[in-house]
Amino acid sequence: MRVPYTAFKIKNAPIRQKLIQAFEQVIDSGHYIQGPNCAAFEQEFALFCGSPFASGTSNGTDSLHLILRAMGIGLGDEVITAPNSFIASASTIALVGATPVFVDVTEDLNIDPYKIEQAITSRTKAIIPIHLTGRPAKMLEINNIANKYNLFVLEDAAQSVGAKLKGKRVGSWGDAASFSLHPLKNLHAFGDAGIITTKNANLIERFNISKNHGLKNRDQCDFWSFNCRLDELQAALLRIQLQELEHWTEERRELAFRYNELLKPYVKVPEEGLDEYHVFQTYVVLAENRDELQKFLRDNGVEALVHYPTPIHMQPAAAGLNYKPNDFPVTQQLSKRIMSLPLYPGLTHEQQDLVAELISTFYKK
């Protein structure tokens, strides 16, 4: 038996017909750019997140980039984020000409709210907390600090669609939030895609113009900008996926908690904190001798991954920021212990049992 890291076909089998029908409807409509499905998906997604506005984009990176621009962040500004995320959380800050300023995380893999304040300078304009792995960041504390210093909060919700804190979904906490709808995400398109949410009416207006060449209308260009539109075809497919998201998430959670029971004697399993609703976009354990364990699992047909082995502040791209490895000791430590195990709707109990058995065997050796 093999346990692949993803298993796309299983998940999509029951809705295959609906997807094909949607695909054909868009083809026949002849309307492939910013059509009715984009508009409907944006409305449905805003409602899902409990946020007033949503706007579809070409991918999560473009979303972060254009939100930062719409917030007016640029050359000379600083933006605070965590160093253990996917590269886009920081690269988009650099892309608008601002400086990424990293703050260490806690064992929940999310930014440590108690270390944010000391990183704030007169140039700080925004905080980008990441809801990493599908677990919400400490938004109450983060919002308090942001209010105190008059900073924007941009939630990087790329991994956490549907996650909740105190019953309120991510994407409704900050000034704006960026979601990735990449095929490996809990809610996904069949190619690159993204969406943003915001409660700020000015920001959504600016954003909608900026994702479409700065065009106020077909013939009036208000500012030079980019093309970061969500494909109509992907929007049609996403609308169908969105209807399935809650039960997919429930299945994911059941499997995650089952993993927790099986694995807690051997590794540190991911927790769900008080008032949190964790969506387990990735199921990340903290393991001793991680590299050997990963190799052992892979040799035995279990595709374990590491997200991510090199923290952003140690990437060659970040050399200009002059960080040292131990500037963020928790991140540094965690980067040696984190391991992502296969978790998705359709993963069987037998597959989970095999993973547990292998991990148990490894640590008994």
Partner 1 sequence: MIVPYNYLPMQFSNHDAILADWEKLIQSTEFTLGSYVENFEKLFAEFIGSKHVIGTNTGTDALILALKAIGVGPGDEVISVPVTFYATIGAIVAAGAKPVFVDIDDRYQMDVNQIRGAITSKTKAILPVHWGGAAPDMPAIMGIANEHGLKVVEDACMAPGGRIFEKNSGTFGHANAWSMHPLKPLNVMGDGGMVSTDDDELANWMRIYRNHGMVDRDHNRIWGVNMRLQPLQAIVASHILKTVHVTVEERNKNAEILDEGLKALAPFVNVPPRPIGYWETYSLYMAKFHKRDELMKYLNELKIEAKIHYPVPLHLQEAARDLGYKEGDFLNSEIYCKEIMTLPAHQYISRDQLEYMLSSIANFYSTL
**Amino acid (one-letter) located at 20:** I
Binding test (CB under 8 A) with partner 1, winner from 18, 23, 286, 330: 23
Q: Does 29 bind partner 1 (CB under 8 A)?
A: yes
CB of 207 to partner 1, least distance (A): 16
Q: Does 240 bind partner 1 (CB under 8 A)?
A: no
Rule CB under 8 A: which of 83-142 touch partner 1?
87-88, 90-91, 94-95
Nearer to partner 1, 52 or 191 (CB): 191
Q: Does 219 bind partner 1 (CB under 8 A)?
A: yes
Q: Does 206 bind partner 1 (CB under 8 A)?
A: no
DSSP class of residue 269 equals: P
Which residue, 242, 42, 106, is CA-closest to 162? 242
Residues linked to residue 221 through DSSP beta bridges, in sequence order: 215
Binding test (CB under 8 A) with partner 1, winner from 44, 310, 330, 333: 310
Q: Does 329 bind partner 1 (CB under 8 A)?
A: no
328 burial via Cβ count (<10 Å: 0-12, 13-18, 19+) = buried
140, containing H or E segment: helix 139-149
Q: Over the range 234-262, which residues count as b (16 or more CB within 10 Å of their CB) and which as e? A: bbbbbbbbbebbeebbebbbebbebbbeb
Binding test (CB under 8 A) with partner 1, winner from 118, 224, 364, 365: 224
Q: Does 191 bind partner 1 (CB under 8 A)?
A: yes
CA atoms within 13 A on the CB side of 15: 16
Which residues bind to partner 1, rule: CB under 8 A?
Answer: 6, 8-9, 12, 20, 23-24, 26-33, 58-62, 65, 87-88, 90-91, 94-95, 182-184, 190-192, 213-216, 218-227, 229, 231-234, 306, 308-310, 312, 315-318
